[in-house]
Structure 1
Amino acid sequence: MSIEIGVILPTSTPDPDRPVLGDVRASARFAEQAGIDSVWSTDHLVASGPMLDSTVALATAAAVTDRLTIGYNVMLLSLRPSAWAAKQVASLQYVSGDRLVLGVGTGNPAHGDTAWRAAGLSYADRGAHTDAALRVLPGLVTGQRVELDDGTRVAIAPGATMPPVVVAGDGRAALRRAARFGDGWATIAAPPRRVAQRLAEIAELAAGHGRAPVRATVVAPELDADPARAAEQLAEYEQAGTERVILAPTGPDWQRDYEHAGALRAAYTG
Structure 2
Amino acid sequence: MHVGVHLPSFGVDETAGVAEHARLAESAGLESVWVGDHLRAVKPFLDSTLVLATAAAVTSRVKVGFGVMVLALRPVAWAAKQVASLQHLSGDRVLLGVGTGGEPHGDVAWRAVGVPFAERGRRTDAALELLPGLVEGKPTVIDGVEIALTPGATMPPVLIAGGGPAMLRRVARHGDECYPAFSTPGQIAELSARLAELAAEHGRPVPRITVSVSIGLGGVTEAELGAQVRGLTGYGLTEAEARASLVTGTPAQAAEHFAELAAAGAHRIIGMPFPKNRLRQTELLAEATRLI
Q: Assess same fold via TM > 0.5.
A: yes
Q: 1:160 to 1:255 in 2, by over 3 A?
A: same
Residue 20 of structure 2 aligns with which residue? 26
CA distance in 2, matches of 1:266, 1:256: 16
Q: Secondary structure at the match of 1:198?
A: helix
- Root-mean-square deviation (Å): 1.4
Could you tell me how far 1:20 is from its partner in structure 2? Answer: 4.7
1:82 aligns with 2:80: no
1:182 equivalenced with 2:175 (yes/no): yes
Instruction: Determine the structure 2 residue equivalent to 1:255.
Output: 279
Alignment of 1:61-76 (within 5 A): 61-76=55-70
Contact map agreement 1:78 1:126 (CA 8 A) in 2: yes
Shift of 1:91: 0.4
Q: Does the 8 A contact of 1:216 with 1:243 survive in 2?
A: yes
Matched, 1:139 2:133: yes
Instruction: Determine whether 1:123 maps to 2:117.
Output: yes
Aligned equivalent of 1:15: none
Cα distance, 1:224 vs. partner? 4.3
Aligned partners of 1:5 and 1:38 also within 8 Å: yes
1:198 CA displacement: 1.3
Alignment-derived partner of residue 193 in structure 1: 186
In the other structure, the counterpart of 1:52 is 46
Matched, 1:215 2:213: no
Count of matched residue pairs: 260
Q: Secondary structure of the equivalent of 2:115?
A: coil
Q: Quote the offset at 1:119 in angstroms.
A: 0.7
CA deviation string 1:205-256 (max 9, x = no partner): 2322221111111101533422222222222211211111111122332111
> Secondary structure, in 3 states, of the residue corresponding to 1:220?
strand
State the secondary structure of the residue aligned to 2:249.
coil
Larger helix fraction of residues: 2
Given the alignment of the two structures, is residue 103 of structure 1 paired with residue 127 of structure 2, yes or no? no
Query: Which one-letter code corresponds to 2:55 in the other structure?
Result: A
Displacement after TM superposition at 1:37 (Å): 1.2
**CA offset digits 1:75-99 (Å, max 9, x no partner):** 0001001100000000001110011
**Residues 20, 124 of structure 1: CA spacing in aligned structure 2 closer, same or farther, 3 A cutoff?**
farther
What is the CA–CA distance in structure 1 between the aligned matches of 2:149 and 2:192, rounded to whole Å?
34
User: Bigger CA drift: 192-201 or 160-169?
Assistant: 192-201
Shift of 1:100: 0.6
Letter in 1 for 2:7: L
* Equivalent residue letter for 1:197: E
TM-score of the pair, normalised by structure 1: 0.92
> Offset of 1:168 from its aligned partner?
0.5
- 1:6 aligns with one of 4, 7, 13: 4
